[in-house]
Structure 1
Amino acid sequence: MVKGIIAYIVTDGNGQDAVKFYEDALDAQVLSLQTFGDMPENPEHPTPPEAKDRVLHAHLRVGENELMLSDTFPGSSLKLGDQVGIAVMISTPEKTKDVFGKLSIDGLVTMELQQTFWSPLYGQVQDKFGVTWQVSTLTQDE
C-alpha cells in the first residue's frame, strides 16, 4: 500500500542552510538530519572530506505535512528542474517493486531498487514526464 508522498528538495551543497531557512520560514520542526559523514564507512568508496557535512537526508514537519531534503554529492551536478522531486513511501517491498516498475515505463532509472541502510528497498527513477521519484519501502518502525 502506498502510505504517502512527500515533496523532496535537492540542494547543491547548501542543504544545512536550506534546513535552517525552511525551519524558520515555515515554522518547520526538524525530525531528523543525517550528513554524508554519518553514513557507515565503505572502504571501497570512502566519503571525501568535502562531503562529510553535506546533507544526506533531512526530514521536516511543516504543520501536518512533511518535507524532505538532501544535498548533491560533491562532483554531481544539479540540473535546473531537478531541485524538487517526490518521495513515495510504501508499506511492502512487493508494492515498492510494482510502483517502481510502473514509474519506470518509458522513464530513466537513476538508481536501481536496492537495500539501503535507511530502507529495505529504495530506488530512484525519472518518469516519462521528467518527474523524479524516490521510491522507498518503510521500515517496520515507521
Structure 2
Amino acid sequence: MQVQPYVFFNGRCEEALDYYSAKLGAQVIFKMRYKEAPPDPQNPPRPGLEEKIMHASVRLGSSDWMASDGRCDPAAPPMNGFSLSLTADDAASAEKYFSALADGGQVVMPFQATFWSKGFGMVVDRFGLTWMVTLPSEE
C-alpha cells in the first residue's frame, strides 16, 4: 500500500510546480492540461480551464506526489487540515528549503533546534501549502 498527497492549487499549479522545481529540486514527471484530456460529455471542463493543469505527478527527493489546478473556484477555502513534511539530509539543505518555502509565505514556527530534532520549522508557503521542515537528530 502507498499513500500519496494530492494537492489542489486552485489555479496556481503551474506556478507552484515551477517554484518547487527551481527552489527544492522537484521534478515534474507527468503533466496534463484540461485541453489534453479525452473529452467527457458527462463532465466537460468549465470554459477557461483549457490551459490549467488537470493532473501532474511530481517527484521531490524520494517521494512522489500529485498536483492539480482543481476547479479554479474563486470561492474555494484555503488549504487546511494537512501539511507536507520535508525531511532534509543535512543542516544546510534544511535551512535552504525552509527559507525557500518561507519566501513570500508565512512562518508559523521558525526553523530551530527542538527536543526531538536538530532543526524543525513550519511555514505556509506562497501557495497556501503548509510545510514542516525537519532535520533529524541523527544528522
> TM-score scaled by structure 2?
0.51
Measured in 2, the distance between the counterparts of 1:59 and 1:37 equals 17
2:8 aligned with 1:10 = yes
Structure 2 gaps of 5+ residues are 85-139
- Please report the RMSD computed on the Cα atoms of aligned residues, expressed in angstroms: 2.5
Measured in 1, the distance between the counterparts of 2:57 and 2:18 equals 12
| Matches for 1:7-46 after TM superposition, within 5 Å | 7-46=5-44
Based on CA coordinates, which of the two structures has the bigger radius of gyration? 2
Q: Which has the higher contact order (CA 8 A, sep 6+)?
A: 1
| Secondary structure of the structure 2 residue equivalent to 1:37 | helix
Measured in 1, the distance between the counterparts of 2:44 and 2:75 equals 20
Measured in 1, the distance between the counterparts of 2:73 and 2:27 equals 30
Q: Is the 8 A contact 1:29 1:60 kept in 2?
A: yes
More strand by share: 1
Aligned residues: 84
The runs of 4+ residues in structure 1 deviating greater than 6 Å are none
Closer, same or farther: CA 74–29 of 1 in aligned 2, 3 Å: closer
Measured in 1, the distance between the counterparts of 2:81 and 2:54 equals 15
Q: Which residue, 53, 57, 60 being the options, matches 1:59?
A: 57
Structure 1 gaps of 5+ residues are 87-142
Give the AA of the match of 2:23: A
| Matches for 1:74-113 after TM superposition, within 5 Å | 74-75=72-73, 77-82=75-80
Measured in 2, the distance between the counterparts of 1:52 and 1:84 equals 29
Measured in 2, the distance between the counterparts of 1:83 and 1:18 equals 19
Shift of the alpha carbon at 1:14?
A: 1.3
Q: Is the 8 A contact 1:28 1:61 kept in 2?
A: yes
Measured in 1, the distance between the counterparts of 2:31 and 2:54 equals 8
Measured in 1, the distance between the counterparts of 2:62 and 2:39 equals 35
| Identical-pair percentage | 23
> TM-score scaled by structure 1?
0.50
